[in-house]
Structure 1
Amino acid sequence: MSQSQPDAHSAAHGDPARTPPLYSPARVRELLDRHGLRPTKSLGQNFLIDGNILRAIAEAGGAAPGVPVLEVGPGLGVLTGEAARRGARVTALEKDERLRPVLAETLAGLDVQIVWGDALEFDYASLEPGTRVVANLPYYITGVLLSRFMNAPAIESATVLVQKEVGQRLTARPGEDAYGFLSALAALHGTVRHVRDVPRGAFLPAPDVTSAVMRLDFDRSRPLPEPALLRFVEAALHHRRKTLRNNLRLVGYAADAIDAALTRTQLRPDVRAEDVPLAALQSVARELGVVR
């Protein structure tokens, strides 16, 4: 992925005092029209047009003087600029090359490095330790990106705009309707808190769903979960309303070994996968020799 700084040229047209803020619908439409752009649905482009929510995301994300911040999908540079004006040193990953002249204009004079390319191909191991993700994530790759953030030791936290449903899955506990592999994955890496819901009208164009701002804090004092454990947990929760025993049988574990592991972990043979506490699931994995 190539790296470049935005071109330095004026962000304001006409009288700066009369220029509406970058997040105002009028300014967003003017920018898009002037550059001949339309939001691309396939890239998940929904531009934030609510200043209060914008400030809340930057605040909750810890964008502050000297803090390294990573943004994925800066779009028109609205959140990017907010983080940079708070003194953060921002790296923004953007796939849509059509936005080069827009970002050159809106981020002129700010401490922002644009990395042009696909966020799924970026080397997150190259980030500076203590990096905080602050981003309005493209909805279609949210889960994959969150997994990348969790597995990058340099990333300390991720404060992200996601679909409300994803936010509910991130904070769900065993036994709750939304609980599943993403819930377990988040718990294995740290803690999650819900910051606030975001209505559809806070975006241009308005998405089909309500969104939520979530903050994930990663516990880097403990080692990353072993890949074998993650595969085991994913298989165990793949059909979360089925029994844990049946799910493990489906991926090839012997019935007698599963029964013995459940007995030693003091779990009922008919316990549903979604009802098993994470610590108990890890104990079953140890009993089956998945991890030590």
Structure 2
Amino acid sequence: MTDPVAAPPLYSPARVRELLSTHGLRPTKSLGQNFLIDGNILRAIAEAGGAAPGVDVLEVGPGLGVLTREMALRGARVTALEKDERLRPVLAETLAGTDVQVVWGDALDFDYASLPAGTRVIANLPYYITGLLLSRFMAAPGILSATVLVQKEVGQRLAARPGQDAYGFLSALAALYGSVTHVRDVPKGAFFPAPDVTSSVVRLDFDRARPQPQTELIAFIDAALHHRRKTLRNNLRLVGHAPEAIDAALGRVGLRPDIRAEDIPLPELVSMAHHLDVIR
């Protein structure tokens, strides 16, 4: 069996091209396959994500196994979800000598609620399903944090505060579950093939001491911020709340009738949901 420590670095551009050529593969754009070829960045991701001896790590989309092997060599117990069956022989080669568990199938079909408490997600997420995956991570009680490579624009939205240009539903949802830290930006040249956009590494820490948000509250926040430059009053009218009830709730919370949705802090949105009897 190949000694993974002695193997040449997987993140070398020449090694990536060799692996793809040997196995007759081409990156699939529809699956968001952009492989990391920068060793400094993959080490920074593993470090920021908390990959360490005995830590349960979930990776979505291991690709050629570059980040996967880095985390396994740090002693983490890695489970990797991969949809592309063509990568079976590649991962068999690149993960030889490690105890990584690869689960084959669609990440959107995986039961995230089954993960053990304290699990940390560390992944270069497929861009086309980033939002869906992040919402699954947030709702899974066993996941403690998610350190992910995302489009820079998505990273800005996750970390935005009320009143900032990027603030919206994703920002509020992240704040509802915990906190977001921007780790670093990642240039296009760190990937093969290079994506069309700059990426960012962000870390989401989930406060599992908080009660799970009710689905009704999440739907309310989504509706309230759906047209974030409109007034909160108009957004809530669009989803069926009576104008008189909205005005009364705004008064109780201490918000102006003409306040725009994008300017409202999360605690005030939650108070509005209470006063409108969306949650109790």
Same fold (TM over 0.5): yes
- Is residue 120 of structure 1 aligned with residue 112 of structure 2? no
| Cα distance in 2 for residues equivalent to 1:225 and 1:153 | 12
Query: 1:232-271 counterparts in 2 under 5 A?
Result: 232-271=220-259
Report the equivalent of 1:55: 43
Offset, 1:11? 7.0
Contact 1:11 1:107 survives alignment (8 Å): no
1:265 & 1:196 partners in 2: Cα distance? 37
Q: 1:109 aligns with which of 97, 112, 118?
A: 97
For 1:222, the equivalent position in structure 2 comes to 210
Give the drift of 1:20: 3.8
Task: State TM-score, norm by structure 1.
Answer: 0.94
Partners of 1:163 and 1:139 in 2: CA distance: 7
Q: How does 1:127-276 map to 2 (within 5 A)?
A: 127-276=115-264
CA distance in 2, matches of 1:152, 1:106: 29
Counterpart residue number, 1:5: none
Matching residue's letter, 1:28:
V
For residues 14-70 of structure 1, give each alpha carbon's deviation from its aligned partner in whole angstroms, at most 9, with x where no partner exists: xx96x6410010000000000000000000000000000000000000000000000
Aligned length: 280
Q: Distance in 2 between matches of 1:21 and 1:277?
A: 46
Identity of aligned residues (%): 80
Please report the RMSD computed on the Cα atoms of aligned residues, expressed in angstroms. 1.1
Deviations 1:94-138 (A, max 9, x none): 000000000000000102000000000000111111100000000
| Matched residue type, 2:137 | F
1:47–1:204: 8 Å Cα contact kept in structure 2? yes
| Secondary structure of residue in 2 paired with 1:256 | helix
User: Within 2, Cα distance between the matches of 1:11 and 1:244?
Assistant: 59
**In 2, Cα distance between the equivalents of 1:196 and 1:38?**
28
1:10 paired with 2:6, answer no
- Structure 2: 5+ residue stretches without partners: none
**Deviations along 1:258-278, whole A, 9 cap, x unmatched?**
010001111110000000111
